[in-house]
Structure 1
Amino acid sequence: MLVVLRDAWTTVVPDREDRHGPLPPVMLALTVVTGLVDAFSYLVLGHVFVANMTGNVVFSGFAIAGAAGFSLAASLAALAAFAVGALLGGRIAHRTRAHRGQLLHMALILESVLVLAAYAVAQSTGSPYDGDARYALIALLGLGMGVQNAASRALAVPDLTTTVLTLTITGIASDSRAAGGKGGKVGRRTLSALAMFIGGLVGAVAVLHGNPALPLLLASLLLLGATAATHVLARSDAPWTDPL
């Protein structure tokens, strides 16, 4: 248990000599953002994810089969927006690959603008979001999440992908001592899952018991905080800023 707690602590408060420097806590914050925006998209925009693309691929199959409550057009729109966002994030990553802090900072600026724009649309149109408003929100959020995932992939901080938890949860079990492994990184992996859970929980509570657009406001505030933090990181010359 002490090993797990130590691993969790060093993720939240990383050692200065850690290869990934201060990136882990920022990635945890972005994982919370993922939970918030997917809570909004699924609960408010109707059975569509803007961050977890595996769900949209499956939902597309459901829609084609005629299952009620699923929209092929919405799922395809989310997939397309995410892919374009990943393309934009990839361009940022390739242009700033020499400095990981600059890479993350530039990606967060763009993501923050997109999520803030989505919040503005949500506030100005009001729920329920139908027609053009619905697809504008899917497009803006899908673009933002695509940028985030491309940056996360380029940064390659272990077990902190900000979106995909399937392999993270698999690692908790398959690398455990019960499975014959060394039980490594359980604390970090658990924090990653917990961050997504908290984002989803807070987002759902906000939608069901408050303002439907509130998850986007909370996500925007987290992103702005992370962007401000990475402004400092973008000027660092510490070893962690070097490309992997």
Structure 2
Amino acid sequence: MTAANPTDHERLHLMLMLALTFSTGMIDAVGYLGLDRVFTGNMTGNVVILGMGLLGADHLPVLGPVVALVLFMAGAAISGRVLRPIPAGWTRRSTTLFGIVGGILAASAVVLAPFGGAVPLPLQYIATGALGLAMGMQAAAARHIAVKDVTTVVVTSTLTGLAADSVLGAGTGQLWKRRAGAVVLIGLGALVGAAALHIQIALGLAIAALIVIVVAAIGHVRKPAPDLA
């Protein structure tokens, strides 16, 4: 389906990536609070946790962050391989990748649901790996869609741009709305994910899965033109 003009697509893609940013906040809340203090989207946090954990600081985990890091990179590599021959933007392959991400999140929610808040350690590692794989796929797929300053998984560079380009940073404040939106939404997602944990560990993942699947569907229906890839 062809939209009115490229600006419409840019605006839509921005909204969809911001929705994924919110869902990432939920997933990281579940990972950190429900799966032994492991981030599955924020790999910077995992590297820091791993570094401290190797010295035994505060009994921080080691295996969990390693699992998340390795599977995140594997997921990103998969998306990179799938999307490499395709021009930047949304294609059928983007839809497929986001659909797989939503499916992994939904399957993880189903697997964790019977355990409430007491998830056995081996299953925690399996869930961490699955979520890391999904987030790596999402991050690389979002990168290919190329919405400036919205990676869907981290906001450090977004915060840097927000401050450096602000009036206080002698800039003009360009793109401040999307940057601030990304920061606020990942924080709100973490808040909602943490609240959902008080009800059921699988609830946050189920909501995140629904968001990703809806994003995939909308992006597919509104992609610029029929494609062969």
For normalisation by structure 2, the TM-score amounts to 0.91
Contact 1:41–1:49 (CA under 8 A) maintained in structure 2: yes
Contact 2:41 2:154 in 1 (8 A): no
In the alignment, which of 75, 83, 92 is matched to residue 65 of structure 2? 75
Deviations 1:29-68 (A, max 9, x none): 1001100100000000011100000111111111111112
Q: Partner residue of 1:217?
A: 206
Match of 2:36 in 1: 46
CA distance in 1, matches of 2:46, 2:94: 26
Residue 117 (structure 2) pairs with residue 143 (structure 1):
no
Alignment pair present for 1:102 and 2:92: yes
2:64 maps to a residue whose letter is A
Contact 1:60/1:71 (<8 A) preserved: yes
Equivalent-residue separation in structure 1 for 2:73 and 2:185 (angstroms): 24
Offset of residue 21 of structure 1: 4.9
Alpha-carbon displacement from aligned partner over 1:84-106 (angstroms, at most 9, x marks no partner): 11111112212443752334212
Unpaired segments ≥5 residues, structure 2: none
- Structure 2 CA distance for aligned equivalents of residues 99 and 171 of structure 1: 23
Which of 121, 130, 147 matches 2:111? 121
Shift in alpha-carbon separation, 1:189–1:67, aligned structure 2, 3 A = same
In 1, the alpha carbon distance for the partners of 2:171 and 2:103 equals 43
Say whether 1:226 aligns with 2:219.
Answer: no
Q: How big is each residue's C-alpha offset from its partner over 1:195-215, in whole Å with a ceiling of 9 and x where there is no partner?
A: 1011101001111x3112111
For structure 1, the 5+ residue unaligned runs are 1-14
* Structure possessing the higher relative contact order (Cα contacts under 8 Å, 6 or more residues apart): 2
Measure how far apart 1:126 and its partner are.
3.7
Aligned partners of 1:98 and 1:153: how far apart in 2? 9
**Taking every aligned residue pair, what percent have the same amino acid on both sides?**
35
TM-score (norm 1): 0.85
- Number of residue pairs aligned between Structure 1 and Structure 2: 224
CA contact (8 A) 1:175 1:184 kept: yes
The separation in 2 between residues aligned to 1:175 and 1:231, in whole angstroms, is 33
Cα displacement (A) at 1:130:
2.1
1:237 aligns with 2:225: yes
Q: 2:156 aligns with which of 166, 170, 174?
A: 166
RMSD: 2.0
